[in-house]
Amino acid sequence: MTEPTDLSVARTVVDELIRLAAMEVPGVVRVERARRRWLGLFGGRSVVCRIDGRRVSARLSIVARPGHELVPLTRQVRAAVAAAIERLVDLEVGDIVVIVDGVGA
């Protein structure tokens, strides 16, 4: 662990880091909730993170590529998100919940 810094990062930046880390995992088509586009006006966000001190917890919804095994995929997404949080913003990783909200192209 490196020495703490006085870096301030907006929660929306951490949300975007989480989204980008998940998108790099083969088998993730997109990071969003699987629903009709117009319902997105009423639905929740696809990435939600909570920062408590130096600890980040996250919940994200993904759409998986057809044919990919879902359990290994969620493990890979969880690992990629955790690594990005630790490496890019030097914060501790709390719970990371990956919801497979759909399968499709």
| First CA to last CA distance, the chain | 40
What is the mean pLDDT of the segment spanning 62-86?
Answer: 96
pLDDT, greater one: 6 or 95? 95
What is the mean pLDDT of the segment spanning 95-103?
Answer: 94
pLDDT of residue 32: 87
What is the mean pLDDT of the segment spanning 69-82?
Answer: 97
Q: Which residues contact 103 (CB under 8 A, 6 or more apart)?
A: 34, 63, 64, 65, 66
Most confident of 2-16, 22-36, 48-62: 48-62
pTM recorded for the entire structure: 0.84
Q: What CATH number should be reported for the domain whose range is 11-103?
A: 3.30.70.1350
What is the mean pLDDT of the segment spanning 25-32?
Answer: 94
Distance CA 105, CA 85 (A): 27
Q: Looking at the predicted structure, is the pLDDT value of residue 36 above 60?
A: no
